């Protein structure tokens, strides 16, 4: 037997005090298998030891929430006995090392989280962050991640309906790949993971277990250094066809009542799934590892327990239902093995070749995972950066074109054309708008889905940035006419052991909490990815938010496209002269400074409720939230989508570059017929919502009186070309 | 009229196909599992898109040798109309029901978008809703849609009016610029000699309502159902 030395403990990522705790819990030294289990269970990735204290403060309840954080995914009621089940998860570290497989298995993992709960996945989204566009690795990473996401979702036949992509130097050494899945289930057919029923069979289904991905969760809990390439073997390999079979087989079995509990094997594989199921049910589990389907001969208990082979599930069945279940999995040509049983011992006992290879108490291991109150320092909020400190560009038209062709704003079509975004036949708002919209199959309802975060705001002022990320998803859902329901969060940060990073985390959480409360928009699921650092440099704090909303009648959906000539264009919300952290400041002045746009959550709510009610009342013909690049960019995007121009006149109370490019929040552009525009003005006044007429749609240029006039086709040219140009390998 | 949709374990446009057929037909389509070797007696067989058996080998190669496809080939030979879309088209070429092969897209990437197609060959059953030369819009979603056939086959397809659709622009111009995936002669779909089999890469079943972005697919299925009734 391997002697457990200090070095071995350190290699497993356990601190000395954590190892002391292991000895205390066991009352003896662990063997290597047991140490490996502690190591993954107590990894940051699985135990949330640095983040738990703060995550607990987020609002998680609302009358429509069926299941909040803690299960495989969050569940919200969407009426008519149906629920939407969704979650977003990171796969950052693997995707940097092996972009195709890292991203693909990220999608596979989040899909399993959702169908484990009984839902048929209906949409995938993603939130991607890459390094600066001209970094030598960026093209390779973008190409690999995008094909990996597409490769998995396309084969599964789940539409990937949108997402967001940023480029910034802070991600040069640590890209972020956050994948989100939304599924639909009947509210009386939702499956949970708590094991129950002493003596009930523990069943393994799906792919065989191989040696891939061992210690993936531990890798995801450490910083990168120059040798990170050597971690390639810890990246798992995806098999979407097997996952498709697993999905269909699980849903077929779920239509019966044979399942007591079910959990996918994700990070930390069989270890984390079996411990979580036992812990939630307050029971023990005995597993005979000889019965685990294995891909290779001679695998050790350590390897079996820590493997992160993909496309596997663990289930507790009702007694006597094994044959019925086996028949379904055999029909789908998947492995099915009874590997153990539920016990009343409160222990996880693993045997192999007749020997006990691990004997661990479940509750202490799962519940006494270390929890840290890490020291943190508040990020000092910078002062706003007034527009009058910046020169007004001589050629504002050229400035707008620069922004439309910038890395932040240019079209992502090159990406989403590689994703099958229409399969399943219910995508009624495709990528490129404020939110994607998919119909709930066979009903007149639809779900709006979006992912958002503005990391540069979070870096400058975490609290404002955290609130803004939540508010932007809410605004994007609102702009489609949907009622926002809830969010999932994917918290991507640097090393939490550094107080300034921990301060970013604490600040973002505080902002998110305030926004969730003000907007009645709780967090129902999420994931934390820390240690996104390379050689001591952390990423911008990136609390990626995935929001979903409900359109009770899909015919009420609004899109960003100008619909007809001669319609009135209106601006909802107020514009200020703060240019801090704007894309304008970054692209035109080359500076990343100042305070991000302020958040006023009461105004956010009023403005959003007004826009949504106006859309649902049929008064609005197009709607778009204003975000990166400000009003001029929003108008340009509406013109591009509708292939028609607009003539705008702005009040001269603000400098031109602020009026056009400031990124003040809680703003929307909407269009209406001239008659309805008057009604909207009256309604807005009553609702205390700032609303002003900007101009009229029509012609083929975007014209802002006294400021700029550019043809829609010139805008389209710069907007559509940036990403394809970036991705074209020179010389080809 | 009765229709069957063949379902392989990795099919993923089977439901979309079913919905489109049923919208035009008004009665349920039979979903036929790949493991079954007997097909119900039907007037239309649809082979839908997807990744039949994972397609880690050549797309459709394994499906082309499946028991159910032997039955489909037999039915087709005796005149039953077959609509083979996307992966279905790939499978149909693997069985030899249609000539040529679908190679990896010229840009090596998956492509998902609406495309304009010029209606070329006349076939009342499959394209009777459209005039020859008309432009229709269906979406594509494939990684391997680059149609290849040797010169002789190509000449025969063109000469006998067996090219069904070509990738074109909105005005019906067929050029290299409109060739999205490198297909020879911009071919998006072809008929067999008897005219009872249509293989096409684009998905008519995806544009069957205004809400989905267009109705050319609905026109396609309405005509198909009417012509078989």
Annotated binding site of A for ATP: 48, 87, 489, 526
- Which helix (DSSP H) or strand (DSSP E) does residue A554 occupy? none
Question: Backbone phi, then psi, for A690, in 5-degree steps?
Answer: -65, 120
Whole-Å CA distances, B55 to A132, A705, B42: 36, 57, 28
Which residue among A245, A418, A439 places its CB closest to the CB of B110? A418
Q: Which range among A56-60, A214-218, A367-371 has the greatest average pLDDT? A: A56-60
A235-244, A389-398, A427-436: which range is least confident on average?
A235-244
At A44, is the pLDDT very low, low, confident or very high (cuts 50, 70, 90)?
Answer: confident
Residue A340 dihedral angles phi and psi, to the nearest 5°: 180, -165
Q: What is the 3-state secondary structure (H, E, C) of A67-122?
A: ECECECCEEEECCCCEEEEEEEEECHHHHHHCHHHHHHHHHHHHHHHHHCCCCEEE
- What pLDDT score does A251 carry? 97
Average pLDDT, rounded, for chain A: 95
Strands A120-130 and A160-167: parallel
Cα–Cα–Cα angle for A409, A413, A418, rounded to 5 degrees? 140
B203 is catalytic: yes
Closest-CA residue to A709 (of A651, A654, A637, A632)? A632
Bigger pLDDT: A708 or A4? Answer: A708
Q: Which of A237, A249, A425 to mutate to test the interface with B (most CBs of B within 10 A)?
A: A425
Q: Smallest CA–CA separation between B160 and chain A, in Å? A: 34
d(CA A726, CA A715): 18
pLDDT per residue over B145-187, tens digit each?
A: 999 999 999 999 999 999 999 999 999 999 999 999 999 999 9
What pLDDT, on a 0 to 100 scale, did the predictor assign at position B74?
96
Beta bridge partners of A545: A452, A489
- What count of Cα atoms within 13 Å lies in the side-chain half-sphere of residue A636? 33
Tokens of B66: 């499946």
User: Cβ–Cβ of A425/B15 closer than 8 Å?
Assistant: yes
Give the annotated binding-site residues of A for Mg(2+): 89, 113, 264, 527
Could B111 and A245 be called an inter-chain contact, meaning their C-beta atoms sit closer than 8 Å?
A: no
| Alpha-carbon distance A250 to nearest alpha carbon in chain B (angstroms) | 14
The tens digit of pLDDT for each residue in A511-544 reads 999 999 999 999 999 999 999 999 888 999 999 9
pLDDT tens digit sequence for A606-665: 999 999 999 999 999 999 999 999 999 999 999 999 999 999 999 889 999 999 999 999
Band of residue A228 on the pLDDT scale cut at 50, 70, 90: low
Range of the domain at B93: 3-228
Rounded average pLDDT over A502-515: 98
Q: Do B112 and A419 touch (CB under 8 A)?
A: yes
A217 pLDDT above the threshold of 90: no
Residue whose entry in the numeric block shows the structure tokens 């994948």: A179
Count of Cβ atoms closer than 10 Å to residue B173 Cβ: 12
Catalytic center residues of A: 45, 91
Chain A, window 499-558: residues with a beta carbon less than 8 angstroms from a chain B beta carbon = 554-555
Residue of B nearest to A427 (CA): B212
* Chain B contact probe: residue of A124, A142, A149, A241 with most B CBs at under 10 A: A241
Of A155, A421, A424, the CB nearest to B51: A155
Number of H helices, E strands in chain B: 6, 11
Structural domains of chain B, count: 1
Q: What is the rounded average pLDDT of the residues A22-41?
A: 94
- Which listed residue (B59, B86, B94, B142) is catalytic? B86
Average pLDDT on B123-147 reads 97
C-alpha pair distances (Å), A650 with each of A659, A661, A693, A707, B98: 7, 12, 9, 9, 61
Q: How many other CB atoms are found less than 10 A from the CB of residue A233? A: 12
Contact assessment for residue A242 and residue A332, using Cβ atoms and an 8 Å cutoff: no
Helices (H), A186-239: 216-219
Smallest CA–CA distance from A239 into chain B, residue: B54
Tell me, what's the pLDDT at A612? 98
Cα A332 to the chain's mean position, in Å? Answer: 30
Q: Is the pLDDT of residue A234 over 80?
A: no
Q: Do B205 and A156 touch (CB under 8 A)?
A: no
C-alpha count within 13 angstroms, C-beta hemisphere, residue A83: 26
Q: Using CB atoms, which residue from A418, A420, A428 is nearest to B211?
A: A428
Q: What is the average pLDDT across A146-158?
A: 97
Contact by Cβ (8 Å): A65, A190 = no
| Contact between residue A268 and residue A277 where contact means Cβ atoms under 8 Å apart | no
Q: For a pLDDT cut of 70, what percent of chain A falls above it? A: 97
- The larger pLDDT score, comparing residue B93 to residue B65, is at B93
Q: Examine the predicted complex and report whether its ipTM is higher than 0.90.
A: yes
Average pLDDT over residues A369-388: 95
- Residues of B within 8 A of A425 (CB-CB) are 15-16, 19-20, 205-206, 208, 212
Chain A residues within 8 A of B141 when measuring between CB atoms: 154, 420, 422-423
3-class DSSP state of A689: coil
B11, pLDDT greater than 60:
yes
* Minimum-distance CB partner of A422 among B11, B19, B139: B139
Comparing A589-593, B38-42, B77-81, the range with the smallest average pLDDT is B38-42
Closest residue, chain A, to B33 (C-alpha) = A331
Question: Cβ separation of B112 and A245 shorter than 8 Å?
Answer: no
Would you state the pLDDT for residue A732?
Answer: 46
CB A636 within 8 A of CB A560: no
Instruction: State mean pLDDT over B195-201.
Output: 98
Residue B46 is part of a domain; what is its CATH number?
Answer: 3.40.50.880
* Percentage of chain B modeled with pLDDT above 90: 96
Within 10 angstroms of residue A556's Cβ, the number of other Cβ atoms is 18
């Amino acid at each position: 037997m391997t002697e457990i030395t200090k070095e071995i403990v350190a290699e497993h990522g356990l601190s000395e005090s954590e190892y002391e705790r292991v000895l205390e819990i066991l009352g003896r030294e662990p063997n290597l298998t047991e140490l490996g289990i502690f190591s993954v269970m107590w990894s940051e990735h699985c135990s949330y030891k640095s983040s738990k204290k703060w995550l607990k403060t987020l609002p998680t309840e609302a009358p429509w929430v069926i299941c909040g954080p803690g299960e495989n995914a969050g569940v919200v009621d969407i009426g008519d006995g149906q629920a939407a089940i969704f979650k977003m998860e990171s796969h950052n570290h693997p995707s940097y090392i092996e972009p195709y497989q890292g991203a693909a298995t990220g999608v596979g993992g989040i899909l399993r989280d959702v169908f484990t709960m009984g839902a048929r996945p209906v949409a995938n989204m993603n939130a991607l962050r890459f390094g600066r566009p001209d970094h030598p690795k960026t093209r390779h990473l973008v190409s690999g991640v995008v094909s990996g996401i597409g490769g998995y979702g396309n084969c599964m036949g789940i539409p990937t309906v949108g997402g967001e992509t940023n480029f910034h130097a802070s991600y040069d050494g640590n890209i972020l790949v956050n994948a989100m899945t939304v599924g639909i289930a009947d509210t009386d057919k939702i499956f949970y993971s708590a094991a129950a029923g002493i003596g009930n069979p523990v069943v393994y289904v799906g792919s065989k277990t191989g040696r891939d991905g061992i210690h993936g969760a531990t890798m995801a809990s450490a910083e990168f250094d120059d040798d990170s390439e050597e971690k390639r073997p810890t990246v798992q390999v995806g098999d979407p066809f097997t996952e498709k079979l697993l999905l269909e087989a699980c849903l077929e079995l779920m239509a019966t009542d044979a399942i007591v509990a079910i959990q996918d094997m994700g990070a930390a594989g069989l270890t984390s799934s079996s411990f979580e199921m036992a812990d939630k049910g307050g029971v023990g589990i005995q597993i005979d590892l000889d019965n685990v389907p294995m891909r290779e001969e001679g695998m050790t208990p350590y390897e079996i327990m820590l493997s992160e082979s993909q496309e596997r599930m663990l289930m507790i069945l009702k007694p006597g239902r094994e044959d019925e279940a086996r028949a379904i999995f055999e029909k789908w040509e998947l492995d099915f093995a009874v590997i153990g049983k539920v016990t009343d011992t409160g222990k996880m006992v693993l045997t192999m070749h007749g020997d006990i290879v691990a004997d661990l108490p479940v509750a202490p291991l799962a519940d006494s995972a270390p929890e840290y109150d890490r020291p943190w320092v508040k990020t000092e909020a910078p002062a706003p950066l007034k527009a009058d400190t910046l020169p007004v560009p001589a050629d504002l038209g050229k400035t707008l074109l620069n922004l439309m062709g910038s890395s932040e704003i240019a079209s992502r079509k090159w990406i989403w054309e590689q994703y099958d975004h229409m399969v399943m036949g219910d995508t009624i708002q495709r990528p490129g708008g404020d939110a994607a919209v998919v119909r709930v199959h066979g009903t007149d309802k639809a779900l709006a889905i979006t992912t958002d975060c503005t990391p540069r705001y979070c870096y400058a002022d975490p609290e404002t940035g955290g609130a803004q990320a939540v508010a932007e998803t809410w605004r994007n859902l609102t702009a489609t006419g949907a009622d926002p329901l809830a969010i999932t969060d994917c918290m991507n940060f640097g090393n939490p052991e550094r107080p300034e990073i921990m301060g970013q985390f604490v600040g973002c959480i505080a902002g998110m909490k305030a926004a969730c409360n003000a907007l009645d928009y709780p967090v129902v699921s999420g994931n934390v990815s820390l240690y996104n650092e390379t050689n001591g440099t952390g990423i911008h704090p990136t609390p990626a938010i995935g929001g979903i909303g409900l359109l009770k009648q899909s015919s009420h959906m609004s899109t960003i496209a100008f619909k007809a000539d001669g319609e009135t264009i209106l601006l909802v919300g107020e514009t200020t002269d703060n240019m801090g952290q704007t894309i304008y400041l970054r692209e035109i002045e080359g500076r990343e400074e100042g305070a991000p746009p302020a958040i006023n959550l009461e105004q956010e709510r009023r403005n959003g409720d007004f826009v949504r009610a106006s859309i649902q009342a049929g008064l609005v013909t197009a709607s778009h939230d204003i975000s990166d690049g400000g009003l001029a960019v929003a108008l340009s995007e509406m013109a591009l989508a509708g292939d028609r121009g607009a003539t705008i006149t702005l009040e001269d109370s603000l400098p031109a570059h602020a009026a056009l490019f400031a990124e003040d929040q809680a703003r929307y552009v909407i269009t209406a017929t001239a008659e309805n525009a008057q009604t909207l003005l009256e309604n807005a006044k009553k609702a205390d919502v700032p609303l002003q007429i900007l101009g009229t749609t029509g012609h083929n240029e975007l014209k802002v009186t006294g400021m700029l006039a550019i043809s829609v086709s010139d805008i389209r040219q710069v907007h559509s070309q940036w990403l394809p140009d970036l991705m074209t390998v020179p010389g080809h | 009229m009765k229709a069957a949709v063949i379902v392989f374990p990795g099919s993923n446009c089977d439901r979309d196909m079913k919905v489109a057929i049923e919208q035009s037909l008004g009665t349920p389509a039979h979903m036929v599992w790949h493991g079954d070797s007997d097909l119900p007696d039907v007037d239309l067989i649809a082979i839908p898109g997807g990744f039949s058996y994972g397609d880690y080998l050549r797309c459709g190669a394994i499906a082309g040798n499946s028991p159910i496809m032997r039955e489909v080939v037999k039915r087709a030979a005796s005149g039953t109309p077959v609509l083979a879309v996307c992966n279905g088209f790939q499978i149909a070429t693997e069985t030899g029901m249609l000539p040529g092969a679908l190679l990896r897209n010229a840009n090596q990437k998956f492509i998902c978008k609406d495309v304009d197609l010029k209606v070329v060959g006349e076939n009342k059953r499959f394209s009777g809703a459209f005039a020859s030369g008309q432009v229709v819009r269906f979406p594509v979603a494939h990684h391997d849609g680059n149609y290849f056939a040797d010169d002789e086959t190509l000449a025969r397809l063109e000469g006998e009016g067996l090219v069904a659709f070509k990738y074109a622009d909105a005005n019906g111009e067929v050029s290299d610029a409109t060739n999205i995936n490198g297909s020879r002669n911009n071919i998006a779909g072809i008929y067999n000699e008897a005219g009872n089999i249509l293989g096409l890469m684009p998905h008519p079943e995806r544009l069957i309502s205004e809400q989905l972005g267009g109705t050319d697919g609905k026109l396609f299925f309405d005509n198909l159902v009417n012509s078989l009734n």
